[in-house]
Amino acid sequence: MKPLGPIPAGFAVIDGELAIAGLTASTIVEQAGQTPLFVYSADMLRARMAALRAAMPEQLHIHYAMKANPFAPLLRLMGQLVDGFDIASGGELAMAINAGLDPARISFAGPGKRDGELEQAIVHGVTLNCESPAEIRRSLAIADRVGRVPQLAIRVNPSFELRGSGMKMGGGAKPFGMDEALVVDAARLIIDSGAQWRGLHIFTGSQALDAAAIVETQDNVLTLAARLTAEIGVPLPHLNMGGGMGIPYFHGDQPLDPAAVGRPLADRLESLPPELAGTDFAMELGRYLVGEAGVYLTQIIDRKESHGQVFLITDGGLHHQLAASGNFGTVVRRNYPVAIASRYGAPAEEDANVVGCLCTPLDRLADQAALPRADVGDLVVVFCAGAYGASASPSAFLGQGAAAEILI
Ligand SMILES: *Cc1c(COP(=O)(O)O)cnc(C)c1O
């Protein structure tokens, strides 16, 4: 037996089935008309934001990093809940605008922005987190050509990183942002050009469950921002402090207590160095806001045994669930939280392998998981599917196509 990851709080059992927003899994599938299906709970998204707001200092802005989940109905809901959006491509800019989000609340980071993407961002008044001096010069030239004042910030590649984070994006040689030593001259270039100086973006990593590590990194970010601001010599309008707050995916992972991040941050914001007295602060979060509010439902289409092991073969797989299959940045494959949605809460009766329908051995959703006996027609649920699911998986692989998605 291999352990499953912890099921997030907030899910119910109705008539022996997993229930979301008072509806059983089979009812939701019936309404959607197909499996595989991603289901996102609006109530859970609202509850997560409310709890986070309560834990964080009031003046802290919360941004949603939309690469975690750009599903249009979810984006529209997030538009009512968060203060800003972080995008990472012209495609995401188009999705954000189509969802009716205010471009003035959007900032655009990403190490390889094409001229056309820079132009769209500048025309819409989106803040560009510039990742190199060359990108600043390109942005200024494009702004000049289209007759706009660009909103320019600098993404810093800090010399420190977020300890214990699943994905490091700062510290050492990186394609992201500018090394600290380049920032002061780059900021002067922006300010002297007459562009709107929008401040600094310092992102250090993702998927941290250790509050102390996040607090330590935020201290480092504030110290660095104060030092750079003193050298730049102009007040810092905005500091995007990065995010990094993670969610439990695997057995043994402990959920992060947001108050353990929020309390020390409130103290820091109460006693800021003079350089940061007039600065607006933001955290940018993806999976922490949306990851636990989504599930992936897939139906069992075959059940068989091989060399004494049970295989439950579903109509879903890694083409929608690259991360749960263990193929999105993990070294050792471990089980996500997975259950039989149509026998939810029933006692475990056997160890089973849950696999997808793709003709590759990489397509695994749960290895040797203790589950109630399930058969053809039963529904399997993969939890923690609200982030980096549909949009971060190769849905074109093997001609499978996208899963359906609904927000309820
Ligand atoms: C991916 C990314 C995020 C979101 O990461 P999560 O782990 O989903 O919170 C935030 N900011 C930047 C710059 C990113 O690249």
Q: What is the pLDDT of residues 41-88, one digit of tens each?
A: 999 999 999 999 999 999 999 999 999 999 999 999 999 999 999 999
Closest CA to 293 of 4, 50, 11, 5: 11
> pLDDT of 69-78, one tens digit each?
999 999 999 9
Does the C-beta of 288 come closer than 6 Å to ligand 1? yes
Using a 6 Å cutoff on CB, does residue 110 contact ligand 1?
no
Catalogue the long-range contacts made by 57-61 (C-beta closer than 8 Å, 24 or more residues apart). Answer: 57/262, 57/265, 57/266, 57/269, 59/269, 59/280, 59/281, 60/262, 60/265, 60/269, 60/281, 60/282, 60/283, 61/280, 61/281, 61/282, 61/283
Question: How many CA atoms does the CB half-sphere of 241 hold within 13 Å?
Answer: 25
Q: Residue 129 CA: which ligand 1 atom is closest? A: 13
* 70 CA → ligand 1 middle, Å: 13
391 CB within 6 A, ligand 1:
no
Q: For residue 218, which of 199, 237, 241 has the smallest C-alpha distance? A: 241
The whole-number average pLDDT for the span 243-264 is 97
Query: 1 alpha carbon to ligand 1 midpoint, in Å?
Result: 33
286 lines ligand 1 (CB under 6 A): yes
Percentage of the chain surpassing pLDDT 70?
Answer: 99
> What mean pLDDT is reported for the chain?
97
Give me ligand 1 centre to Cα 84, in Å. Answer: 14
Q: Give the residue numbers annotated as catalytic, written as ranges.
A: 359
User: For residue 6, how far is its CA from the centre of ligand 1 (angstroms)?
Assistant: 22
- Name the strand (E) or helix (H) holding 294: strand 294-306
Tokens found for residue 399: 């001609």
Can you state the angle between helices 72-81 and 90-98, rounded to 10 degrees? 70
* pTM as predicted: 0.96
Cis geometry, peptide bond prior to residue 36 (ω within 30 degrees of 0): yes
Domains of the chain: 12-40+292-407 (2.40.37.10), 70-285 (3.20.20.10)
Q: According to the model, what pLDDT value does residue 330 have?
A: 84
Closest ligand 1 atom to the C-alpha of 67? 1
Identify the CA nearest to 148 among candidates 107, 188, 194.
Answer: 194
84-87 vs 61-65, strand pairing mode:
parallel
